[in-house]
């Protein structure tokens, strides 16, 4: 059976509009999972979550050039469309939107969407181009797909908060939901970029997740934030990663700093980190509450 018989493969904005109209006629609530392809179980869990909150799920597959800096991996980013479509079928995704760059960034376009402040801290300090690229593409995809609900992984926690803020600021009638990070058995957060790790780096990478988990446990038990961060930095370096871009404890929604003392009771916080393992940049985060 051809793939088109198992899932609606929508290659143009017009095909997407026709599909969308049919869903509305059928009274369906539309769930949306934007992706850059190279799908793994983490993405598939987002589709599952979108299914829990809607009647018909569409995923987009588009490697967005504007969120890569010139020295990053846009050209080598894994492109595995046939596999991706089969994986989407396996979790009951109804449609895949696979546009080309010109559909989303028409010739000569001059419009940009940018969330001030939140986009320039943490990841934004180290990848200044990144969140501007993400909000540009996600705002465009939201307009094209017009979903009722959209699901993003907590693995990219800052991205999730920025998209929530963008959606609220622009008054988009879309519910943005976060889905828990899916991990390998050694705790490493799943990511399309994990395939860049050599076998030796991959073995060590489990200790990156462990360092973060240990810091989270210590903070929740009352250890000072500054001491827990220092210990995590030591553990991450010992695991063979470096340079470490940041280990930070922030308010879970605003990502504002929370000081260096013990985490206050009742505050929802997040511990976030980014560090290099050889040529691969790993990020991770965990919730914190006392």
For the CB of residue 249, give the shortest distance to ligand PAF in the complex, in Å: 23
CA distances from 142 to 104, 115, 170, 176, 273 (A): 11, 16, 11, 11, 28
Of 37 and 215, which has the nearer Cβ to ligand PAF?
A: 37
- The structure tokens 């290099």 sit at 276
Could you tell me the end-to-end alpha-carbon distance of the chain, in angstroms, rounded to an integer? 53
In angstroms, the CA 52 to CA 167 distance is 21
For the CB of residue 283, give the shortest distance to ligand PAF in the complex, in Å: 11
- 43 given a catalytic annotation: yes
Coil, strand or helix at 288: strand
- What are the DSSP calls for 223-274, one per residue? --HHHHHHHHHHHHHHTT--SEEEEEEEETTT--B--SSPPPTT--EEEEEE
Region of residue 27 (phi > 0: left; psi between -120 and 50: alpha; otherwise: beta) = left
Of 33 and 288, which has the nearer Cβ to ligand PAF?
A: 33
For the CB of residue 159, give the shortest distance to ligand PAF in the complex, in Å: 6
Question: Do 186 and 211 touch, CB atoms closer than 8 A?
Answer: no
Of 45 and 159, which has the nearer Cβ to ligand PAF?
A: 159
For the CB of residue 60, give the shortest distance to ligand PAF in the complex, in Å: 7
Of 35 and 167, which has the nearer Cβ to ligand PAF?
A: 35
- Residues facing residue 10 across a β-bridge: 97
For the CB of residue 242, give the shortest distance to ligand PAF in the complex, in Å: 25
Of 61 and 288, which has the nearer Cβ to ligand PAF?
A: 61
Coil, strand or helix at 70: coil
- The active-site residue, picked from 20, 43, 126, 129, is 43
Residues near ligand PAF (CB under 6 A): 34-36, 64, 67, 134, 137-138, 156, 159
**Catalytically active residues, by annotation:** 43
């Amino acid at each position: 059976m051809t793939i088109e018989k198992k899932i609606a493969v929508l290659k143009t904005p017009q095909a997407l509009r026709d599909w969308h109209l049919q869903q509305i006629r059928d009274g369906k609530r539309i769930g949306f999972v934007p992706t850059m392809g190279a799908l793994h179980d983490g993405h598939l869990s987002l589709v599952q979550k979108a299914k829990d909150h809607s009647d018909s799920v569409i995923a987009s597959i588009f490697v967005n050039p504007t969120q890569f800096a010139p020295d990053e991996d846009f050209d080598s980013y894994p492109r595995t469309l046939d596999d991706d479509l089969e994986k989407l079928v396996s979790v009951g995704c109804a449609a895949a939107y696979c546009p080309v760059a010109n559909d989303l960034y028409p010739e000569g376009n001059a419009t940009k969407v940018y969330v001030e402040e939140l986009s320039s801290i943490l990841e934004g300090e180290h990848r200044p181009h990144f969140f501007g690229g993400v909000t540009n593409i996600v705002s465009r995809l939201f307009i094209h797909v017009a979903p009722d609900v959209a699901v993003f992984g907590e693995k990219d926690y800052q991205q999730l908060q920025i998209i929530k803020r963008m959606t609220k600021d622009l008054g988009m009638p879309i519910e943005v939901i976060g889905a828990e990070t899916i991990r390998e058995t050694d705790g490493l957060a799943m990511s399309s970029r994990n395939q860049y790790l050599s076998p030796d780096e991959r073995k060590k990478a489990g200790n990156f997740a462990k360092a973060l988990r240990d810091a989270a446990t210590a903070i929740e038990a009352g250890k000072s934030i500054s001491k827990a961060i220092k210990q995590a930095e030591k553990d991450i370096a010992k695991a063979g990663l470096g340079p470490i871009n940041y280990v930070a404890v922030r308010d879970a929604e605003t990502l504002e700093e929370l000081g260096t003392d013990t985490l206050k009771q009742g505050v929802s916080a997040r511990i976030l980190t980014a560090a290099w393992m050889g040529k691969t940049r790993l990020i991770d985060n965990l919730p914190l509450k006392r």
